[in-house]
Structure 1
Amino acid sequence: MIRAILFHVIPLLLPFVVYAVYLYFNARAGGDKKWGRTSLAISTVTGLVLMAASLIALGLVSGEPSEGTVYVPPRFEDGRIIDSQVLPAENKE
């Protein structure tokens, strides 16, 4: 669950939070900037790009190690279907 929050929600919402903090400090300094359609569109696109980058990074660094393992595909043996397996190289069937 934490991984889903880290890699989906936080990168998507981060530009909105950063812009809201900017607007807060801008208002305290006497500025007159407000949320607009352009700022919402830019924040949305930036959030989607960040989310896509985080998902690509997650796909590159996670998963089964391919070195030293052998994939055994599903097979039909003695009237039963044997599921696929990823076995260490020395235990190859």
Structure 2
Amino acid sequence: MIRGLLFHVIPLILPFVVYAVYLYFNKRAGGDKTWRGKSIAVSTVIGLMLMAISLIVLGSVSGETRDGTEYIPPKFEDGRIIDSQVVPAKDKN
């Protein structure tokens, strides 16, 4: 659950939070900037790019090891489901 939050929601929301903080300090300094369609669109695109990057990184660094040579898919045998498995590579010693 936490990983899903970290790798899906936070990268998507982060540009909006950064822009909102920028607008807050801009208003305190006497600026007149507000949320506009272009700023929302740019924040959305940046958020989607950050989310895609985080998902690529997550896919690259997590999961099963790739030391096996053959993948055996799950199968139904004798009324029960046999899990999938990866047959380990033979040692070449």
The question of a shared fold, defined as TM-score above 0.5 by the shorter chain, is answered with yes
Contact 2:72/2:85 (<8 A) preserved: yes
Structure 2 equivalent of residue 30 of structure 1: 30
Partner SS, residue 5 of structure 2: helix
TM-score, with length taken from structure 2: 0.80
Given the alignment of the two structures, is residue 53 of structure 1 paired with residue 53 of structure 2, yes or no? yes
**AA at the equivalent of 1:30:** G
- The structural deviation recorded for 1:72 is 3.1
Instruction: After TM superposition, list the pairs within 5 Å mapping 1:53-72 onto structure 2.
Output: 53-67=53-67, 71-72=71-72
Partner SS, residue 63 of structure 2: coil
**AA at the equivalent of 1:2:** I
CA RMSD of aligned residues (A): 2.3
Contact 2:67/2:88 (<8 A) preserved: no
TM-score, with length taken from structure 1: 0.80
Unaligned runs of 5+ in 1: none
Unaligned runs of 5+ in 2: none
Q: 2:36 and 2:13 mapped to 1: Cα distance? A: 17
Q: 2:78 and 2:40 mapped to 1: Cα distance? A: 61
Percent identity over paired residues: 74
Partner SS, residue 65 of structure 1: coil
Partner SS, residue 67 of structure 2: coil
